[in-house]
Structure 1
């Protein structure tokens, strides 16, 4: 497994989870709802890797 291929995805997941965790820990207590929010942020960032890039049809947008 080449880590370089997944580097941007891993960084995006870590940053998304870190930001959500920072906000969730504002009161020094991590509730179940906040934990789910952190998990969904990480999964959302990982989900971006699964969706393929759109093919460029050459038309201006």
Structure 2
């Protein structure tokens, strides 16, 4: 099964954003700084994961 880089980055953004949101919502209030942290986590995950290529299924290049 081949997952495209776009789908991989969207899923990582959802994961990073939800993890940051859960940590930020521990006091039942999300402040502006926490909102910025959530946003940066999502954008950072999108960019970093999209830039890394998927591993080749064939194995190492010779």
Question: Aligning the two structures, in what range does the TM-score lie when normalised by the shorter sequence?
Answer: 0.7 to 0.9
RMSD of Structure 2 on Structure 1 (CA) = 2.0
Structure 2: segments with no counterpart, 5+ residues:
54-59
Aligned residues: 52
Specify the alignment match of 2:46 in structure 1.
Answer: 46
Where does the alignment leave 5 or more consecutive residues of structure 1 unmatched?
none
Q: Structure 1 stretches (4+) deviating beyond 4 angstroms?
A: none
TM-score by length of 1: 0.73
Q: 1:19 to 1:8 in 2, by over 3 A?
A: same
Scaled by the length of structure 2, the TM-score of the pair is 0.72
